[in-house]
């Protein structure tokens, strides 16, 4: 037996999920599963960024706006995580980005991203 969501069902599900995902993080692995691969430290100090979501359409919910992360020296941004809280919390998922290494302290700016069903 198989099942599938209609586009309407996907959009409703994504809008609900967006209400739980409150923060974005950056990680140095392609498939983050916890906080171990998340950036930390630096000066200024790395922190998660509060995210705003657009309304889902066609089974896709995009982020709204741009998000700047202070990145510590020696860190390579490989993925962006979806979190329930500013610290700790629940990791709901992630999306991959083009690897961006930082030899020194830097700022990683994210201007697009989405979740698709």
Domain-wise residue ranges, the chain: 7-116
Give the pLDDT confidence score for residue 105 in this predicted structure: 97
Give the pLDDT confidence score for residue 1 in this predicted structure: 82
Q: How far is Cα 23 from Cα 13, in angstroms, rounded to an integer?
A: 18
Note down pLDDT in tens along the chain; length 117 residues.
Answer: 888 999 999 999 999 999 999 999 999 999 999 889 999 999 999 999 999 999 999 999 999 999 999 999 999 999 999 999 999 999 999 999 999 999 999 999 999 999 999
pTM metric for this prediction: 0.94
């Amino acid at each position: 037996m198989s099942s599938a969501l209609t586009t309407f069902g996907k959009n409703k599900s994504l809008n609900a999920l967006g209400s739980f995902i409150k923060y974005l993080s950056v990680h140095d692995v392609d498939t983050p599963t916890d906080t171990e691969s998340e950036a930390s430290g630096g000066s200024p100090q790395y922190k998660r960024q509060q995210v705003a979501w657009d309304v889902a359409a066609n089974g896709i919910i995009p982020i709204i706006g741009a998000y700047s992360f202070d990145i510590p020296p020696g860190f390579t941004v490989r993925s962006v995580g979806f979190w329930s809280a500013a610290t700790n919390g629940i990791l709901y998922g992630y999306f991959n980005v083009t690897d961006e290494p930082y030899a020194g302290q830097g700022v990683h700016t994210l201007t697009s991203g989405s979740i698709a069903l």
